[in-house]
Amino acid sequence: MATTIAVLSQKGGTGKTTIVRTVAEIMRRIDLPTLAIDLDPQGNLSDYFDVPPDAAPTIAEVLGGAATIAEAIQEPAEVVPANLSLAEAELALAGKIGRELTLRRALAKAPERYSLILIDCPPALGLLTVNALAAADYALISAEAQYFALQGVEQALAVIELAAENLQPDLALLGILLNIADMRTVHSREALAGLRERFGESVFETVIRASIAYAESAERATPILEHRPDLAADYIALARELLTRVGLVEHARRLSKLDAA
């Protein structure tokens, strides 16, 4: 059974898609079979993986019952893509009984070869995000280093708690990640201090630095590990914390070969 992690944020621009793209790449490089699922109608994760815009089926067809997860996986990227049709699928889903559990039922039939599933949630705390949380073992919150970071995290936590109470009792908070942060500024340092004061050890030790290089790597469909190896160190550190928190300690040790590289 794969460990499933939903990566979410209360708003856009917090770098959550880059988290999923880069962590998936790192996991595959240490031989941990990983499936990425694009659950955002904007389809940015699909673009990151250089999936053609007309690729089909997508996660929309999976949620609509017209395709299985296995049929929707794009090779060799190993991603279930999304496009604007997902917005229509979400509207159709809203009128169905048991709508919050649609993705969980679909993932129950995912190929057994995967040990980790990463879900890139939309930048809103709506039905698609609730579906991701109902299907997940863990939730990872991406928070931007800005004044309203604390408020956004609290809103995301409220949705996670509701999902745990009503839909997925085994759902746990994996952690809160300060993302797109320039730690040379007082503003970013205060944002991190505020998060740690409020949420303690739930906040990852790793902080992802802000850089235009992430946009450049996305545009070129090239992993940041290759485009800017110096920045990749942040994500390798995040992957190490993530694997340790979910109990995959042996795989965390394998990251040393990427450190050396």
Give per-residue pLDDT as tens, 207-231: 998 877 777 777 777 777 777 777 7
We report the CATH number of the domain holding residue 11 as 3.40.50.300
Structure tokens at 133: 């949380």
Mean pLDDT of the region 66-76? 96
Residue where the block lists tokens 């590990």: 225
Please report the pLDDT score of residue 163 as a whole number: 96
* Per-residue pLDDT at 173 exceeds 70: yes
Tell if the pTM clears 0.75, that is, is over it: yes
Pairwise CA distance, residues 106 & 68, whole Å: 7
Give per-residue pLDDT as tens, 4-26: 999 998 777 778 999 999 999 99
Mean pLDDT of all residues belonging to the chain: 91
> What is the domain count for the chain?
1
Between 122 and 13, the more confident residue is: 122
**Band (261; pLDDT cuts 50, 70, 90):** low
CB atoms within 10 A of CB 211: 16
